[in-house]
Amino acid sequence: MSLLINAYATVTNPPMPDFPCQNLLHRNLDDAELTAHLNGFLGYILNAGDGKMNARRYALYRHIQRVKHHFSFAIDDDQFDQFNAWAKQANVIIYLPDGTVRNAEMAILQNPDGSFDPDATMPYPSEALQRKAKTEHYLNTLGLTSPASLPPVVAESEVIVRSAEEIAHRALALMITAIQAQSFLENAPLDPKVLQQRCPIGYATLSDHERAFIHSMQPTEQDLNNMSWRYEALSTLEWALNWQAQLPFANQICPVADLIDQGMKYNQQQDQSLSLKPVSELLDALDLHFRLHWIIRDCEINDKEIPASINSGVVHERHYALNWLTNFENAAWDDVDTPT
How does pLDDT run across 146-169, given as a tens digit for each residue? 999 999 999 999 999 999 999 999
Same domain, 7 and 79: yes
In this predicted structure, the answer to whether residue 181 has a pLDDT above a threshold of 90 is yes
Residue 209 confidence (pLDDT):
97
Total domains in the chain come to: 2
- The average pLDDT across 102-131 equals 97
For the residues of 296-328, what is the DSSP string, one character each? HHHHHHTT-PPPTT--HHHHHHHHHHHHHHTTG
Residue 271 confidence (pLDDT):
67
- The average pLDDT across 123-148 equals 97
Same domain, 103 and 130: no
Same domain, 77 and 133: no
pLDDT (tens digit per residue) in 300-312: 999 999 998 999 9
Residue 116 domain-assigned (yes or no): no
Sequence-distant contacts of 167-171: CB under 8 A, at least 24 apart? 167/237, 167/240, 167/241, 167/276, 167/325, 168/237, 168/241, 168/266, 168/274, 169/201, 169/202, 169/204, 169/205, 170/205, 170/237, 170/324, 170/333, 171/234, 171/237, 171/238, 171/241, 171/243, 171/263, 171/266
pLDDT (tens digit per residue) in 58-105: 999 999 999 999 999 999 988 888 999 999 999 999 999 999 999 999
Residue 85 confidence (pLDDT):
94
> Which residues, in sequence order, are bridge partners of residue 4?
74
Q: In which band, very low, low, confident or very high, does the pLDDT at 193 lie, cut at 50, 70 and 90?
A: very high
Residue 119 domain-assigned (yes or no): no
* Of residues 281 and 271, more confidently modeled: 281
Residue 16 domain-assigned (yes or no): yes
In this predicted structure, the answer to whether residue 273 has a pLDDT above a threshold of 90 is no
- Residues whose CB is less than 8 angstroms from the CB of residue 212 and which lie 6 or more positions away in sequence, other chains included: none
pTM: 0.95
Kindly state the DSSP code that residue 257 receives in the 8-state scheme: H
Same domain, 86 and 144: no
Note whether 259 and 231 are within 8 A (CB).
yes
- The average pLDDT across 134-150 equals 96
Same domain, 148 and 233: yes
> Which residues, in sequence order, are bridge partners of residue 101?
95, 110
- The average pLDDT across 221-246 equals 96
Q: In what order do the strands lie in the sheet with 69-76?
A: 22-28, 69-76, 2-9, 92-95, 101-102, 108-110
Boundary residue ending a domain (47, 80, 110) = 110
In this predicted structure, the answer to whether residue 1 has a pLDDT above a threshold of 80 is no
Q: How far apart are CA 258 and CA 256, in angstroms?
A: 5
Same domain, 152 and 50: no
Residue 322 confidence (pLDDT):
98
Same domain, 81 and 155: no
Residue 203 domain-assigned (yes or no): yes
Range of the domain at 18: 2-110
- The average pLDDT across 250-262 equals 95
Q: In which band, very low, low, confident or very high, does the pLDDT at 272 lie, cut at 50, 70 and 90?
A: confident
Same domain, 134 and 274: yes
Note whether 172 and 179 are within 8 A (CB).
no
- The average pLDDT across 103-125 equals 96
Q: Average pLDDT of the chain?
A: 96
Boundary residue ending a domain (110, 137, 160) = 110
Same domain, 160 and 46: no
Same domain, 99 and 130: no
Q: In which band, very low, low, confident or very high, does the pLDDT at 53 lie, cut at 50, 70 and 90?
A: very high
Boundary residue ending a domain (42, 77, 110) = 110
